[in-house]
Amino acid sequence: MMSTETVDAGDTATPSREARAVVEFEGIDKSFGGNSVLEGVNLAVRPGFTGLIGPNGAGKTTCLNVVSGYLRPDAGDVRLGGQSVIGMRPDKVARLGVSRTFQTPRLIPNLSAVENVMVGGGRHHRHGHIAELFGVPAARRDEKDQRARARELLGIFGLGEHPDRAANAFPIGSQKIIEVARALLNDPLLLLLDEPAAGLGAEDVDRLVEGLNGWLAERPEAAVMIIEHDLELITRLCPTAAVLHFGRIIQNGPPADVLRDPVVVEAYLGADVAAGD
Ligand SMILES: Nc1ncnc2c1ncn2[C@@H]1O[C@H](COP(=O)(O)OP(=O)(O)OP(=O)(O)O)[C@@H](O)[C@H]1O
Ligand SMILES: [Mg+2]
């Protein structure tokens, strides 16, 4: 979709930090009952990896819920490629190219790994489920393509060996990675990951990093927004990270700088003290 504002010329080698925002949060407020959870959140997410960090309860998941259509903010706007997504349902936002994972994996336990990844299909699916039901040849071809792509995605995360094994037979770390692979099936423009490394061992974290890097390397226009408590992973993957604290963005910049900021250190320490650590 074209807009009237000036855009970066496509023929110049624009560094990704200068690139146009994939998604922009502008003045987002959200409260539950009397509890204000997001206050005036402004954030532009550009192509590549962006971290969203902050203590427990800071409002990180709420931000993802707002951009993916699961929650309607009380005020402000969220624009995807310039188009407002406020008021759109999650399936509509997904069709615009937004994929997400959840803090706790939502796999279908008895389906195989590859079938779970295929559940992510839809945006590029030309033939509906009815066509599939009747075994229409074109629909069968779609199914075959999707299966092949799902296997490929499991492969880039190092999980290609047992694609037909039931999802619940995989360790929890692998299940979380299968969910990430599912979110990639539609080739999203914006991938939202909610604590993808929680519960993962070092080997799984490496798989996750390699798979995501490999996927993104071929998609210079896509953005990946990662919520994570594993700050080492954020530093490893993200050229930039925003810090949420009590619903406000208190810092935004290269993770190494952000994590040295006394205000950010204080936010994390304060949260630890409150949690009794
Ligand atoms: N649907 C809801 N109804 C009421 N309160 C909610 C709802 N969702 C979130 N909250 C509250 O909003 C605050 C922020 O929650 P959120 O899940 O966004 O935090 P978070 O930064 O993702 O935390 P964590 O790191 O623990 O996952 C919390 O106090 C939470 O209890
Ligand atoms: Mg959360």
User: How far, in Å, CA of 113 to CA of 189, rounded?
Assistant: 23
For residue 247, give the ligand 1 atom closest to its CA.
Answer: 14
Two structure tokens written together for 274: 């409150």
**Does position 139 have pLDDT exceeding 70, yes or no?**
no
Residue nearest atom 4 in ligand 1 by C-alpha distance: 32
pLDDT digits (tens, 9 = 90+) for 82-131: 899 999 999 999 999 999 998 887 899 999 999 999 987 755 444 455 55
* CA of residue 194 to ligand 2 center, whole Å: 7
Of 101 and 132, the one with more pLDDT: 101
Q: What is the percentage of the chain residues whose pLDDT exceeds 70?
A: 83
Supply the DSSP string of 44-92, one letter for each residue: EE-SEEEEEE-STTSSHHHHHHHHTTSS--SEEEEEETTEE-TT--HHH
Q: What angle do the packed helices 202-217 and 137-156 form, to 10 degrees?
A: 120
Residue 102: predicted pLDDT: 87
How would you classify the pairing of strands 75-80 and 23-32? antiparallel
Q: Which residues have CB under 8 Å from 34's CB, separation 6+?
A: none
Of 17 and 133, the one with more pLDDT: 133
Residue nearest atom 9 in ligand 1 by C-alpha distance: 62
Residue 272: predicted pLDDT: 66
pLDDT digits (tens, 9 = 90+) for 198-237: 999 999 999 999 999 999 999 999 999 999 999 999 999 9
Of 8 and 242, the one with more pLDDT: 242
pLDDT digits (tens, 9 = 90+) for 33-64: 999 999 999 999 999 999 999 999 999 999 99
Q: Which residues have CB under 8 Å from 3's CB, separation 6+?
A: 82
| Residue 176 binned pLDDT confidence (cut-offs 50, 70, 90) | very high
Residue nearest atom 18 in ligand 1 by C-alpha distance: 59
Burial (0-12, 13-18, 19+ Cβ within 10 Å), 111? middle
| Residue 4 binned pLDDT confidence (cut-offs 50, 70, 90) | very low
**Does position 11 have pLDDT exceeding 60, yes or no?**
no
* CA of residue 157 to ligand 2 center, whole Å: 24
Rounded mean pLDDT, 174-192 = 95
194: enclosing H helix or E strand: strand 190-194
Q: What angle do the packed helices 202-217 and 172-184 form, to 10 degrees?
A: 10
Q: What angle do the packed helices 172-184 and 137-156 form, to 10 degrees?
A: 130
Domains and CATH numbers, the chain: 1-6+16-89+225-277 (3.40.50.300)
Q: What is the percentage of the chain residues whose pLDDT exceeds 90?
A: 74
pLDDT, mean over the chain: 87
- State which of 31, 60, 74 you would mutate to test the pocket of ligand 1, scoring each by most atoms of that ligand within 8 A of its C-beta: 60
User: How far, in Å, CA of 27 to CA of 204, rounded?
Assistant: 36
| Residue 143 binned pLDDT confidence (cut-offs 50, 70, 90) | confident
**Does position 6 have pLDDT exceeding 50, yes or no?**
no
Q: Provide the sign of the torsion angle of the four alpha carbons 170, 165, 226, 261, taken in this order.
A: positive
The set of protein residues with a Cβ atom below 6 angstroms from ligand 1 is: 32, 37, 54, 56-62, 103
User: How far, in Å, CA of 37 to CA of 225, rounded?
Assistant: 19
**Does position 147 have pLDDT exceeding 90, yes or no?**
yes
